């Protein structure tokens, strides 16, 4: 828990440093401060995962350089761009919505979760002790995304902790939707690899591509659906992802959702079924709620079960989404 608190406090300090004296319309300042933030964030991670980082440096893997090069090629926008305070968090839920962050606005989505897994003979408990996703609008129709998660897992044989997710991506709006025509966006993500000693990260660069849709059914209900392909880089065939999420806006601040999200692989997977069996499908369901404490702050909670073996898997989580600027 001390590691989680330290990570949380440092993240807040770094982000306030970034924006305390910057005009958000000045692209060069944003780029410099993002560069500073990435350097300090990676230095912090290095201090906690020194052996893994040293190994990556031997392989000449430098994520900071990759991220900064991407920022150099982002289109600059004039200082007279309109300020847009609309805020649509992506969390909670596995089915990602199509909404884009407003220009130069930054959303920090963080939290923790606890997972019990006894599928296929496993006896694991995993705490995601610090999940952080940053989303920044870089054009009126596109956002940049960065994810870094840290987890700790307990098994009867061993305990281990480390970076459990590291990814960079973009979401691009295709259409705003009109009537029966849904909102539509494209989401592309690169999964950054770990070394041979990493318990969570893939050994090779992975790719995820998704098409995101949403229909307004009424003033209170909306339906989101998400179709994509996900390849970790370590498997022979990609997983096909498909999810459907029904959202209910109970009040101006309170909303509920229920969703089904599923994976399909053309090769049967042993860890998707009961011991001694294999399955093409991994079927999950999630239910949760979100509350807008203020126009810039959302709190949420959620729970998941595995429909292949409902009594053998559960996950519960609590999170926040914060519009930083």
Is residue 323 pLDDT above 90, yes or no?
yes
With 60 as the cut, is the pLDDT of residue 150 above it?
A: yes
- Rounded Cα gap, residues 227 and 325, in angstroms: 31
What pLDDT is attached to residue 325? 84
Residues 6+ apart with CB under 8 A from 233: 191, 193, 202, 203, 204, 205, 206, 207
pLDDT at residue 272, as a whole number: 76
Return contacts of 23-28, CB within 8 angstroms, 24+ apart. Answer: 23/79, 24/104, 24/105, 24/325, 25/77, 25/78, 25/79, 25/80, 25/81, 25/104, 26/79, 27/74, 27/76, 27/77
- CATH superfamily, domain 87-323, is monomeric porin ompg (2.40.160.40)
- Taking alpha carbons only, the member of 238, 236, 167 closest to residue 205 is 167
Computed over every residue of the chain, the mean pLDDT equals 78
Mean pLDDT, to the nearest integer, of 172-187? Answer: 93
pLDDT at 198: 83
Residue 143: band (very low, low, confident or very high) from pLDDT cuts 50, 70, 90: very high
Q: What is the pLDDT of residue 32?
A: 52
Whether 59 has a pLDDT exceeding 50, the answer reads: no
pLDDT of residue 85: 53
pLDDT, tens digit (0-9, with 9 covering 90-100), for 270-299: 777 776 778 888 899 999 999 999 999 999
Average pLDDT over residues 34-44: 49
Q: According to the model, what pLDDT value does residue 82 have?
A: 40
pLDDT digits (tens, 9 = 90+) for 63-94: 444 444 444 344 333 333 344 556 788 888 88
Whether the predicted pLDDT of 314 surpasses 90: yes
pLDDT at 183: 95
Q: Which pLDDT score is estimated for 237?
A: 86
Q: What is the pTM of this model?
A: 0.72
Confidence of residue 36 (pLDDT cuts 50, 70, 90): low
In this prediction, residue 168 carries a pLDDT of 96
Residue 65's contacts (CB-CB under 8 Å, 6 or more residues apart) are none
Pick from 151, 228, 236: which is nearest to 194 by CA? 151
Preceding peptide of 92 cis, ω within 30°: yes
Residue-wise pLDDT for 99-123, tens only, equals 999 999 999 999 999 999 988 777 8
The reported pLDDT for the residue numbered 86 is 67
């Amino acid at each position: 828990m001390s590691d989680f608190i330290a990570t949380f406090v440092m993240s807040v300090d770094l982000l306030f440093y970034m924006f305390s004296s910057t005009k958000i319309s000045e692209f060069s300042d944003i780029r410099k401060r993002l560069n500073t933030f990435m350097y300090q964030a990676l230095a912090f991670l290095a201090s906690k995962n020194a052996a893994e980082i040293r190994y990556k440096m031997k392989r000449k893997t430098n994520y900071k350089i990759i991220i900064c090069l991407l920022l150099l090629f982002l289109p600059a926008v004039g200082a007279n761009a309109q300020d847009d305070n609309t805020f649509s968090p992506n969390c909670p839920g596995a089915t990602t919505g199509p909404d884009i962050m407003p220009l130069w606005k930054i959303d920090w989505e963080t939290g923790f979760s606890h997972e019990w897994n006894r599928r296929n003979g496993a006896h694991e408990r995993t705490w995601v002790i610090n999940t952080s996703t940053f989303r920044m609008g870089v054009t009126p129709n596109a956002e940049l995304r960065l994810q870094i998660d840290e987890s700790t897992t307990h098994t009867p044989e061993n305990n281990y902790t480390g970076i459990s997710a590291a990814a960079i991506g973009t979401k691009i709006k295709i259409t705003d939707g009109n009537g029966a025509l849904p909102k539509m966006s494209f989401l592309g993500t690169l999964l950054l690899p770990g070394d041979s000693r990493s318990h969570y990260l893939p050994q090779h660069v992975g790719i995820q591509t998704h098409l995101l849709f949403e229909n307004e059914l009424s003033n209170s209900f909306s339906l989101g659906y998400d179709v994509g392909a996900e390849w970790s880089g370590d498997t022979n065939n990609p997983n096909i992802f498909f999810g459907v999420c029904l959202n209910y806006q109970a009040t101006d601040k309170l909303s509920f959702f229920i969703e089904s999200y599923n994976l399909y692989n053309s090769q049967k997977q042993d860890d998707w079924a009961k011991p001694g069996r294999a399955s093409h499908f991994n079927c999950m369901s999630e239910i949760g709620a979100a509350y807008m404490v203020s126009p810039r702050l959302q709190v949420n909670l959620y729970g998941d079960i595995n429909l292949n073996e409902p009594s053998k898997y559960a996950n519960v989580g609590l999170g926040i989404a914060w519009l930083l600027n």
